[in-house]
């Protein structure tokens, strides 16, 4: 999914029309607050951000977003009418993979979006590879995906209860909590959810610290959303495109 962070309505219209034409799912944020909400809810694979927003500077906003461990490898494109050399230099230092000046050349911009998406971490193994590895078809794969989703949802709920101090790691038990995390990792691996596996490996130390719980919960809320999208799609094209950098990422 692409997150478009833009407050100008005309530019939004042009960009969303282009993203629809390219068949990329997207969500629009008109300010920094909406952008922060979006990256907390949706499986974002690319951010396209304006520099001048009503409530913040686009560079500051992206810096704040990319500090989060589970988002630090998400590619960013900046798109603005104002681009002095120092601004471009800072954008690249923040981690931008591209810097586009307005007004947009729509066809050229489309190519730059596709190139930027290739920098995004893949969420799913390709459909062909999954089917070959699991020796199942689309009908028998669906229950496996549902089971993995349910395990993930249960873990998200458990981590959320710990974050909200409605339960403690000690009450659940560190070994038990780690076993649940590893169980979700195994279920995700079985259905080719490579991003979920990667995030668990990166964020879960096994100590059950507050940092472990908070970071993993934030990441898995987003992964749960990706699982829901996959289940709703009910098509092999979702997974094929996800692995190839297309609309299903």
Which one has a higher pLDDT value, 244 or 14?
14
* DSSP structure class, residue 57: B
Which one has a higher pLDDT value, 157 or 87?
157
> Does residue 109 surpass a pLDDT of 90?
yes
Q: State the distance between the two ends of the chain, measured CA to CA, in whole angstroms.
A: 6
| CATH, range 2-117 | 3.40.50.2300
Task: Give whole-number Cα distances, 99 to 66, 113, 144, 216, 224, in Å.
Answer: 17, 11, 41, 31, 31
- Sequence-ordered list of residues with C-beta below 8 angstroms from that of 113, at least 6 positions apart, any chain: 2, 18, 19, 22, 24, 46, 48, 77
Task: Give whole-number Cα distances, 224 to 69, 100, 162, 196, 217, in Å.
Answer: 17, 32, 18, 9, 10
> Does residue 223 surpass a pLDDT of 90?
yes
Domain spans of the chain, in order of start: 2-117, 127-244
165-221 pLDDT, tens per residue?
999 999 999 999 999 999 999 999 999 999 999 999 999 998 889 999 999 999 999
């Amino acid at each position: 999914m692409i997150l478009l962070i833009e407050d100008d309505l005309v530019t939004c219209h042009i960009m969303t029309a282009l993203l629809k034409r390219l068949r990329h799912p997207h969500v629009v944020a008109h300010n920094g607050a909406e952008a922060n909400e979006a990256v907390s809810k949706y499986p974002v694979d690319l951010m396209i951000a304006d520099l001048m927003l009503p409530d913040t500077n686009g560079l500051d906003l992206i810096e704040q977003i990319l500090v989060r461990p589970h988002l630090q490898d998400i590619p960013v494109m900046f798109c603005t009418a104002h681009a002095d050399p120092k601004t471009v230099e800072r954008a690249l230092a923040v981690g931008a993979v591209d810097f586009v000046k307005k007004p947009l050349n729509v066809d050229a911009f489309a190519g730059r979006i596709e190139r930027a998406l290739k920098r995004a971490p893949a969420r799913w193994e390709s459909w062909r590879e999954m089917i070959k590895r699991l020796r199942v078809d689309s009908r028998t794969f669906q229950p496996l995906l549902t089971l993995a989703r349910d395990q993930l949802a249960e873990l998200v709920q458990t981590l959320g209860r710990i974050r909200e101090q409605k339960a403690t790691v000690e009450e659940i038990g560190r070994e038990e909590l780690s076993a649940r995390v590893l169980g979700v990792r195994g279920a995700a691996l079985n259905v080719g959810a490579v991003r979920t596996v990667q995030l668990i490996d990166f964020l879960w130390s096994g100590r059950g610290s507050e940092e472990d719980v908070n970071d993993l919960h934030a990441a898995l809320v987003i992964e749960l959303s990706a699982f829901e999208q996959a289940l709703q799609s009910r098509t092999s094209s979702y997974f094929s495109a996800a692995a190839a950098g297309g609309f299903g990422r």
